[in-house]
Structure 1
Amino acid sequence: MNINRRRGAIAFFITLGAILVGLAVTLNVGWVVLNERTVALAVLGIILFSVLIAGVVLNTVFLVREVRRNERQDSFLNAVTHELKTPIASMRLYLETLQRRPLDDAQRQQFYKIMLADSDRLLATVEQVLKAGELGQRHRQQNRTLIDLEPLVADCIAVSLQRHHLPSDAIQLDPVPGAVRLRVLGITEDLRTAVLNLLDNAVKYSPEGVHVRCSLAITHYTWVTLRITDTGIGLPSNQFKRIFKRFYRAPGRAMLRIKGTGLGLFLVRNIARQHGGDATASSPGLNKGTTITLTLPLANPTTQTAAVATTTA
């Protein structure tokens, strides 16, 4: 109902803008015809007409953008409400069962395991929302440390395997070529959040089976790239940039069946940019998987030496 109402609002603003532009054209033509013998008045009319048209177009664009932004925010609120309510309802159900019925030790342990997983899901959602609000503010001034990316990514893979109850071969990290140490200067907590979000996305959007490959490599001598490739539902080319917007979720039936807040990739891109890098997406097409590439600047030798000296001190 809300979607139809907003689509009607968008159509209304576009129609109103077209009518106003038509009215402005009519008035300007009339002005020029009436004052065709007075060059100064004709020129003045054309200038005023141009300003009026620009104002109407900008106003229409602004209104349509605001309507779409409000639509994304409402979708986000609905998604967050679901992500918060579902694990709480699940934990409440299991707690009531434990309270009312006598259960053997094996059943109790199974209930505890499920409730712990629900609490992890709840905590992840809360942390994601808080992190989005934190990164939405101006760049934080924090002391950055030297981070070795390979063990950080390996640790995030272990967490994701445990969180989603996956076998060890579901997410694999390729060996780093040349056995070099890929170090960046950054905030460990933020980079960990970015990698975990990428892995969670790869798992979440692989409903037919999780087969994720991760690779780390040096590109253009001064950059390190983390590529995470899945074999999931894929993306059309017109969504490669949009999926990194706040609250945005790609359209399509397959996408709508998968729950989420629309904040994961927004966080990834903002964390990457705050570290001097970027995040991009690519896909061969629908149902052919997706690759997300996180690019970060390598710490140069001078920076590494200074960071080590600071740590030692």
Structure 2
Amino acid sequence: MTATRGPSLTLRLTLLFALASALVLFLLGLLIGNAVESHFEEQDLEVLNGKMKLAKHILERSPGGQSKEILTQQLDDALTGHHGLIVVVYGANGETLYANEAMTFPPDFLVTTAPKQEQPVKWTTSDGLPWRGISSAVKLGAGGGAAYSVAIATEIAHHEHFMTSFRQTLWGFMGLATLAMGLLGWFAVRRGLIPLQAIKQQAAEITANRLHTRLPVESIPVELADLADTLNGMLSRLEESFQRLSDFSSDLAHELRTPVSNLLTQTQVTLSKVRSADDYRDILASNAEEFERLSRTISDMLFLAKADNDQIIPHQEVIEMAEEVADLLEYYEILAEEKEIKLSHTGQGRVIGDRLMLRRAISNLLSNAVRHTPNGGTIVTRIARTAEGSTVLTVENTGKTISPEHLPRLFDRFYRVDSSRFRTTENAGLGLAITRSILLAHGGDITASSGNGLTTFVMRLPNENIENG
């Protein structure tokens, strides 16, 4: 079943860019619309307040016995030149003292007993016209006569029509601007992701035969530099692993070819003519030795394969390192005597681990030391504890100095510095690789050094979990 892919990065960034632009433009549109509407309201309120002050001034200065006609004339004169403006004066009992035009105000709009906060009120009449007005209470005459309510209103149909048209234009422009910003964002994202496309193309050209290729970090934007460095690091590890696998396959084929070729040649020679039973017995015994070598090589390879896949689970037990080393030195003592090699040991320590595995690791080091120590040489083993909480086993032997360029690869499979030092019929070049795998499985490590005719292998194993006593 084909996995469902998520939206492309270009689409995601474009949508986010368009959404952010739409939000900013929406807020900007609200701000502009409210600012324009507030401006119109302030203009209307300025006119309304001016006429309210004039009407109140006329009413408050009017004598109590002044006729209604004179008061009406004064108010008409004050409104000259202001079309669309309505002024109505109501008495305490609701009768109309003055009205330049008929107007039906909202029920709670008029006041007659106390001054009202002169805030504009907006309403729509039955004929659909919008109005904005203010009202206030006033005492007729300078002596504080009867209380009247003054209401002033102005038609705002023109303002409302302008605001409706303005909002339509504004929101239409916002929509087009959002679309334009989305398209520009898409174009910018596409341009910005060109380095990713370049990385994709360069990565697609990398094959098993071109693992040496690296992405050009210097031509990549800073934001993608870490990604390129990570990919280059991955390619370096893949190249190293692939090279090691290639070398290993070649070495393995070479190692298996020799015994198989020997078996085939010897079998063909044996079958070339009739031989005695003793001859067949000798040939079978020789073949058995080759089969044993093949069996050891295959067994060692299986062990290393398990180690590479973390399938080695050491058995945990307390091990006295001095006792194990002493037993193995006793085992190799006969071989050492044949070459007049002097064996010695100092120190003691305890670790937790698998006895058989660690014994095999130590045996590989001692076997390697005995094999490469010249006649009359010495092999010294030392056990010590470090301040970091590790137990260290050092195996030191005299002999030919190993060049520094070979030391890091001594623990590679089938690696040999030269045939005279590392290749014998009994050794397949896997002993040190197995030793390192065993120590890594125990949480330890191993290092090698060589100089002034001394070669030293140092095994480190953790011992912080061992209880005292």
TM-score, length-scaled by structure 2 = 0.44
CA distance in 2, matches of 1:92, 1:86: 10
Whichever residue aligns with residue 67 of structure 1, its letter is E
- Secondary structure in 2 aligned to 1:235? coil
- Output one character per residue of 1:116-166: Cα deviation in whole Å (capped at 9) or x when no partner: 54333222211221111222233644542343444544555677789xx87
- Residue in structure 1 matched with residue 395 of structure 2 by the alignment: 227
CA distance in 1, matches of 2:341, 2:292: 20
CA distance in 2, matches of 1:228, 1:161: 16
- Secondary structure in 2 aligned to 1:283? strand
- Residue in structure 1 matched with residue 344 of structure 2 by the alignment: 174
CA distance in 1, matches of 2:437, 2:342: 25
- Secondary structure in 1 aligned to 2:451? coil
CA distance in 1, matches of 2:328, 2:276: 35
- 2:290 aligned with 1:118, yes or no? yes
Pair 134,211 (structure 1): closer, same or farther in 2 beyond 3 Å:
farther
CA distance in 2, matches of 1:79, 1:299: 39
- Secondary structure in 1 aligned to 2:338? coil
- 2:457 aligned with 1:292, yes or no? yes
Q: Which runs of 5+ in 2 are unaligned?
A: 1-206
CA distance in 2, matches of 1:294, 1:132: 18
1:297 CA displacement = 4.6
- Secondary structure in 2 aligned to 1:72? helix
- Residue in structure 1 matched with residue 440 of structure 2 by the alignment: 273
Whichever residue aligns with residue 232 of structure 1, its letter is K
Q: What does 1:135-284 align with in structure 2 at a 5 Å threshold?
A: 135-138=307-310, 140-150=312-322, 152-153=324-325, 156=328, 168-169=338-339, 172-176=342-346, 182-202=349-369, 206=372, 211=377, 213-220=379-386, 223-236=391-404, 240-244=407-411, 247=413, 249=415, 258=423, 263-284=430-451
- Output one character per residue of 1:227-246: Cα deviation in whole Å (capped at 9) or x when no partner: 1435135130x5544544x5
CA distance in 2, matches of 1:176, 1:109: 47
Higher relative contact order (CA 8 A, sep 6+): 1
CA distance in 2, matches of 1:208, 1:254: 16
Whichever residue aligns with residue 247 of structure 2, its letter is S
1:282 CA displacement = 1.0
Contact 1:216/1:225, CA 8 A, preserved across alignment: yes
Q: Based on CA coordinates, which of the two structures has the bigger radius of gyration?
A: 2
CA distance in 2, matches of 1:228, 1:118: 32
Pair 132,301 (structure 1): closer, same or farther in 2 beyond 3 Å:
closer
Pair 91,188 (structure 1): closer, same or farther in 2 beyond 3 Å:
farther
CA distance in 1, matches of 2:357, 2:269: 39
TM-score, length-scaled by structure 1 = 0.61
CA distance in 2, matches of 1:200, 1:75: 25
1:103 CA displacement = 6.1
- Secondary structure in 1 aligned to 2:250? helix
**Which of the two has greater strand per residue?**
2
1:187 CA displacement = 1.2
- Residue in structure 2 matched with residue 9 of structure 1 by the alignment: 210
- Secondary structure in 2 aligned to 1:138? coil
CA distance in 2, matches of 1:113, 1:228: 37
CA distance in 1, matches of 2:442, 2:210: 39
Pair 147,93 (structure 1): closer, same or farther in 2 beyond 3 Å:
farther
CA distance in 2, matches of 1:230, 1:262: 20
1:220 CA displacement = 3.6
Contact 1:79/1:261, CA 8 A, preserved across alignment: no
Percent of aligned positions that are identical = 22
Q: CA RMSD in A?
A: 4.4
Pair 108,8 (structure 1): closer, same or farther in 2 beyond 3 Å:
closer
1:202 CA displacement = 4.1
CA distance in 1, matches of 2:342, 2:385: 21
1:76 CA displacement = 0.6
CA distance in 2, matches of 1:21, 1:60: 9
